[in-house]
Amino acid sequence: MAKPFNIVLLAPSRYSLITICVTELLRRSGANIGGIFVRRLFNPNRFVSEFRRDGTRLLRKIWKKLILRKTAYTRQHHETIKDFMEKEQIDYSHLGEFKQRFDIPVHYCKTLNDTEVVQGLKDTQPDIVVFTGGGLIREATLNASGHGILNCHMGILPRFRGMDVVEWPILENRLNEIGVTVHFMDKGVDTGDILSIHKIPPTANESVAQLRERFEPIMCRQLVRTCLDFLNGNLERKPQAPEEGKQYFMMHPRLQEVAKRSLLSR
């Protein structure tokens, strides 16, 4: 009998619904979850850094993801991450329950580049690491991650790298280029080898907020499916050429409003 794949996860917080779903789906697949490294919530330096980048968006993100969590999602025509968890009977309230139920190691850290994270990866020797959020990853962490670190990017690579890559294709009237890409992380911004692309065309009368909600369960499925397909030898890495795409930055609120109106008025 083949030895189960040894997979480690990197998480932005203990309450991350996407991390909970991806961890549970990988566990159910028969993979060995060698550990979960989780960024601590209360870190003043992290808050200041992310507030400088995201502004008041960060406060809305904290309210939704850390305070409201599943209660932030109302019943919709589309599938939300809450619907997905109910359908799959994923009932964890936080990542610590994986340790309580299955003795899966859960490590808390200041950043995902801390020396204890790098050493923990070296000790665990994962076949692969799955990233579900938590900031930029530096070379030492990348080099200790087996085949590498997989990320699910909310945009079609290589064309749409960077931030707000759900809204930018709408603004550019490239609705056929909205979707997610599972790729290996490297030192660049969304420039690592591509494994899979899944397009997510907007539906009639769908808002940007609803489209983003619809992304979340799809990202969970694609990240797990692609991870396992790669480890089973069914997918090959496809390198990106730096000149093939663009890096996008945070969209100005006025442009965001234009993109929102553009999507609803199609």
Query: Taking all residues of the chain, what is their mean pLDDT, rounded to a whole number?
Result: 93
Taking a C-beta distance cutoff of 8 angstroms, is the pair 200, 170 a contact? no
Closest CA to 159 of 197, 108, 127: 197
What pLDDT band is residue 233 in, cutting at 50, 70 and 90?
Answer: very high
Q: What pLDDT band is residue 74 in, cutting at 50, 70 and 90?
A: confident
Q: Give me the pLDDT at residue 63, please.
A: 65
Instruction: Answer for the pair 125, 6: CB distance below 8 angstroms, yes or no.
Output: yes
Q: Where exactly are the structural domains of the chain?
A: 6-264
Is the pLDDT assigned to residue 64 strictly greater than 80?
no
Q: The domain at 6-264 falls in which architecture?
A: 3-Layer(aba) Sandwich (3.40)
Q: What is the pLDDT of residue 51?
A: 66
In this prediction, residue 46 has a pLDDT band, given cuts at 50, 70 and 90, of low
Instruction: Quote the CA–CA distance of 185 and 194 in Å, as a whole number.
Output: 9
Pick the closest to residue 26 from 78, 116, 90, 83 (CA basis): 90
Q: Which of 59-63, 87-91, 100-104, 242-246 has the lowest mean pLDDT?
A: 59-63
Locate tokens 């480690």: which residue? 8
What Å distances lie between residue 40 and 15, 95, 110, 132, CA to CA? 11, 12, 6, 14
Find the mean pLDDT for residues 48-56: 70
Specify the pLDDT at position 99: 98
pLDDT mean over 211-219: 96
What is the per-residue pLDDT for 58? Answer: 66
User: 11-33 pLDDT, tens per residue?
Assistant: 999 999 999 999 999 999 999 99
Pairwise CA distance, residues 160 & 162, whole Å? 7
The residue ranking higher by pLDDT, 242 or 166, is: 166
